[in-house]
Amino acid sequence: MAAQDKILKVPLRISMTLLLLAMLAQIFDWPYANKMLLLCFSLVGILYTIRFWKKLEKKFIDYVKVTLVFFWSINGISSILGFQHTVYFQAVIGFTFLIWFIMEGTAYFLDEDRKSKNTQSKILWNVFMVVGTLAIIIGSLSNMLNWQFSVPLLAFGILTVAIYILKDVFIVSKIEKDDRNNEEFQL
């Protein structure tokens, strides 16, 4: 399924961004952070499940992905509510992630025809994403070690990844600008 044909792409991106911001709110101990997390985990699980059911042709990898997202959402909700035995959800998440990575892995992030040309802006956005991801990893590890600037680094990483996820929602792509299907012709 091509990227522009995916159902609920924008609502899923927005809900994932809100989830990241809710995680940031929880790190800073802001009020209502847990309620925001509950709402966002529920929203992601529901939206992805709807997306799965509306898909006409379902392959094995689609079942793996919906299982992964569903159990990840349930694990998040269960952890926030303090339920015990979330390790079972985590085992299913780990198993389905492993299957997804073996079957699709990094090829998921490539375009359908594998002929995408990297423009300077795409390269800069990807560097932006890598910097954000590394900031999250280093911030998380340094937070476990109680280092001084770990929380600001973690917050920077989360905000960077949130901006990266939302970039396609607010930036009009060049393809849409070049599309002339609905234009009137002047004779």
pLDDT in tens, 123-180: 788 888 889 889 999 998 998 899 988 999 999 999 998 888 888 777 755 444 544 4
Give a yes or no: residue 186 inside a domain.
no
* Final residue belonging to a domain, choices 106, 141, 159: 106
Residue 108 carries which DSSP code? G
Whether 111 maps to a domain, the answer reads no
Residue 71 belongs to a domain: yes
| Residue 40: per-residue pLDDT | 95
Of the listed ranges 77-81, 115-119, 147-151, the one predicted with least confidence: 115-119
Q: Which of 39, 44, 37, 102 is nearest to 94 (CA)?
A: 102
Four-CA torsion 168, 170, 175, 177, nearest 10 degrees:
-170
Looking at residue 43, what is its pLDDT? 95
121 shares its domain with 98: no
Within a domain: 178: no
Instruction: Tell me whether residue 183 is in a domain.
Output: no
The answer, yes or no, to whether residue 108 has pLDDT greater than 50, is yes
The predicted pLDDT at position 164 comes to: 87
User: What does the pLDDT read at residue 104?
Assistant: 81
Domain boundary, last residue among 56, 72, 106? 106
- Whole-model pTM: value is 0.73
Q: Which domain holds residue 164?
A: 117-172
> Residue 119 corresponds to which tokens in the numbers above?
């423009």
| Alpha carbons 94 and 174: distance in angstroms, whole number | 37
Phi–psi pair at 72, nearest 5 degrees: -65, -40
Extended beta strands in the chain, E state: none
* Residue 179 maps to a domain: no
| Residues 50 and 132 grouped into a single domain | no
Q: Please indicate, yes or no, whether residues 35 and 71 belong to a single structural domain of this protein.
A: yes
